[in-house]
A and B are shown apart, each in its own frame.
Chain A
């Protein structure tokens, strides 16, 4: 043991390198350390014999560890300070490393050597330095702790407090009352219920997302088949991505709005006029897309389906969902191996067959990704509806979405209901994710 110590303690310059080696050794697979631990009786003897070996190898081993230290990037020892060695020295070391072909056995020795050499204080200092990564992530961790992790925890706690008052912090015991009231619509908010908003959100999402994905697929396939003007079209299609959903919602509202007769002019809106022009609507009649007397189906006291308004929302959602989907699908299409198409051509496959039997399966991971993100985004939609129907989200939230209704609870000061609502939203998103996992593992070919 003493011998080995002597060999390792040499010039001061080596100290740094040994530290590096020690850190490398810490990163080594556990098995190496276990090997030593398993034979405590033989440890001394082997250490001694190895000590001779070490001596025999001389400086070469140390150089080896210097090399390893450089190779396996350890940031800890010299995070902010410059390496004082010259370039030539370093290159020399690395050359030696390249020459050295020794395996684990030296590492084991070095580990035991260094462990015994360092005092507790040094060990602690080294540990601290090795954890300096925490300094880098600290701002993010603190911010997330306050504004992400804690709120999630708090949502799960507060949703189950009955009659929770945020002002006084008082509540009457625990239970599911918030959830029951939210789902029953018994929250004293008036107007449309949470269930109405849930149905709205579902309908918007599950119609508009597949529709826009399909349209995006067709457009990207068409885009992929042309050469001239391809870039120009791509740019135009991407344009709606960079918009303010509230602003564009307001623009879409003007397409559908029936402006009425306050100025003795009748403007039934472009969409109605186009429909009349195409003969889809009889002359002199029009659909009141956005107004209070918009056509709707009444399902029950708590649930109506204002289908005309739904169409407006779905058209907007398809339009605003297209850019992202086209961008993704187009780049996916371009990475499909051309050989498949050549093979299909030789087999005489029709365009239709190629599209549905080759192209679509090849980019199915992207399609599934778009569907999932689209549905998740759709579940959280809010601002577009405000742009289309105003801050009351239609007539007293009859076009509300879940998120919109949650914010309504906040604005009315019903925090408990808001928390319960957000948990319901969370549960729905989780269910969708789970379903997607199950489907995509079967249907999507990666």
Chain B
């Protein structure tokens, strides 16, 4: 009896396998000890249903897990937006609301109207960031393309040594050269110009490395074809290589611009009065003399302390361009980022 039982379970397992196995495999590789005379006491349909049910429950769990994680990943963004639209008393009430009762849109104009100690307001700082971002991105990409091309396609003495040296610097924490760069730009009296924000960060070894690898993947036959058609080498770079590596170039451009947008340490260290950057602007406190809040006696007072709702409005404004970039260029950004992973 016991023996028979084990045999049936064995058959059951085999049946499970058979349902998922290619036909020829089941025909040839079946162990000889197992017989397939299970049709009498074994219901294939029922078993299949059981499996399907198990699969569905498993899927349900997977989806629940993924949804919880997605909600948690998204929550900070949602909280940021709704907090920026709440009134300060609503934000401070002991039971937080997950949807604003009253939308206080004037939080945004209130933040925009504020100017810092140097008299520069949001628009000035935004302009600073865009100008710095534009120049550092365009010049940076240009330098990156030239260098990557030379390293990928040209032969000159010391090329490999140079490339090895460049890669070696990737191991060294950026802070180590930030210190000397600080001294250098101070010595050059650059502190209050926008060069100071651009020049030290034009070369990014990592992007050179990325683009070089991309260039090297372009087959030689293309170069030969271009030569036959009478194209010069520079023409080949501009007309063939750059279009072919356009996705990588777009990724690099985007990531470089995002880098400028998010730069915080260097602007803070340099502390120029006229070239403040957007991320530094967020760290300051925002108070508002025009928005009145009731105190505990019901009197309206204005608050000189920094208000979280205003800060969240500022945070929203700084994050918005990144979101827009994400929506329109998600493919490029994800590709650029994932490439960095597979190439590392």
Contacts and interface: CB of A to CB of B under 8 A. Distances in A.
Q: Bound pair: A and B?
A: yes
Interface of A: 27, 70-71, 73-76, 78-87, 90-91, 94, 130-134, 136-137, 139-141, 143-144, 146-152, 154-155, 158, 166, 215, 218-219, 222-223, 225-226, 229, 233, 235-248, 250-252, 254-255, 257, 259, 262-268, 270, 273, 319, 322-324, 327-328, 331, 345-346, 348, 351, 366, 369-370, 373, 379-380, 382-383, 386-387, 390-391, 403, 406-407, 410-411, 415, 418-419, 422-423, 425-426, 429-430, 433
Given A137-B146, A155-B179, A239-B77, 14 more contacts: A27-B155, A83-B227, A134-B156, A137-B150, A144-B166, A144-B169, A147-B177, A250-B312, A251-B83, A273-B96, A348-B17, A373-B344, A391-B283, A423-B176
A370 B13 CA distance: 39
B1 to A, nearest CB: 25
B223 A327 contact: no
B150 A133 contact: yes
A265 B92 CA distance: 6
Most A CB contacts (10 A, CB to CB) among B179, B319, B323 go to: B179
Nearest to B17: A346
Contacts of A152: 169, 172, 176-177
Contacts of A369: 341, 344
A403 B264 CA distance: 13
Contacts of B169: 144, 148-149, 152
Interface in B9-60: 13, 16-17, 20-21, 58-59
Nearest to A387: B283
Contact of A264 (B21, B73, B283, B296): B296
B177 A155 contact: yes
A166 B16 CA distance: 76
A422 B279 contact: no
Contacts of B20: 345
B131 interface: no
B243 interface: no
Interface string B129-157: 00000000000000110110111011111
B232 A82 contact: yes
Contact of A263 (B76, B183, B293): B293
Contacts of A79: 232-234
B99 interface: no
B230 interface: yes
A358 to B, nearest CB: 17
Nearest to B156: A133
Contacts of A84: 230
21 contacts: A70-B227, A133-B154, A134-B156, A143-B199, A147-B203, A152-B172, A218-B65, A226-B59, A237-B73, A238-B330, A239-B74, A246-B279, A247-B282, A250-B315, A252-B76, A319-B76, A324-B341, A351-B58, A373-B344, A415-B183, A426-B172
Contact of A242 (B70, B235, B258): B258
Nearest to B75: A255
B114 interface: no
B341 A147 contact: no
Interface string B64-91: 0110011011101101100100001101
Interface in B189-231: 199-200, 202-203, 205, 208, 220, 223-224, 227-231
B181 interface: yes
A222 B62 contact: yes
A141 B283 CA distance: 35
Contact of B282 (A131, A246, A406, A411): A246
B294 to A, nearest CB: 8
B238 to A, nearest CB: 12
Contacts of A423: 176
Determine chain B's interface SS by DSSP, over half rule. Answer: helix
Given A73-B224, A147-B184, A403 B311 contact: no
Interface stretch (B100-108, B119-127, B332-340): B332-340
A151 B93 contact: no
Contact of A247 (B177, B295, B318, B325): B318
B275 interface: no
A140 B143 contact: yes
Contacts of B66: 219, 222-223, 226, 233
A241 B255 CA distance: 11
Given A81-B232, A236-B74, A242 B326 contact: yes
A410 B176 contact: no
Contact of B153 (A73, A146, A235): A73
Nearest to A218: B65
Closest 6 CB pairs of A and B: A264-B296, A151-B177, A151-B180, A133-B156, A136-B150, A133-B154
Interface in B295-342: 295-296, 305, 308, 311-312, 315, 318-319, 322-323, 325-326, 330, 333-334, 337-338, 341-342
Contact of B179 (A82, A132, A418): A418
Interface string B155-194: 1110100100110010111111111111110000000000
B177 A242 contact: no
A112 B129 CA distance: 60
Contact of A244 (B74, B180, B279, B337): B279
B283 A246 contact: yes
Nearest to A268: B94
A387 B282 CA distance: 9
Most B CB contacts (10 A, CB to CB) among A242, A383, A386, A423 go to: A242
A102 B142 CA distance: 43
B147 A140 contact: yes
B94 A327 contact: no
A125 B25 CA distance: 70
A380 B175 contact: yes
B200 A147 contact: yes
A146 B203 CA distance: 11
B81 to A, nearest CB: 10
Contacts of A237: 69-70, 73
Nearest to A328: B341
A259 B234 CA distance: 62
A226 B56 CA distance: 11
A255 B79 contact: yes
Contacts of B333: 241-242
B155 A130 contact: yes
B184 A146 contact: yes
Contacts of B272: none
A418 to B, nearest CB: 5
A426 B176 contact: yes
B2 interface: no
A347 B64 CA distance: 29
B149 A324 contact: no
Most B CB contacts (10 A, CB to CB) among A243, A370, A410 go to: A243
B309 to A, nearest CB: 10
Contacts of A134: 150, 156
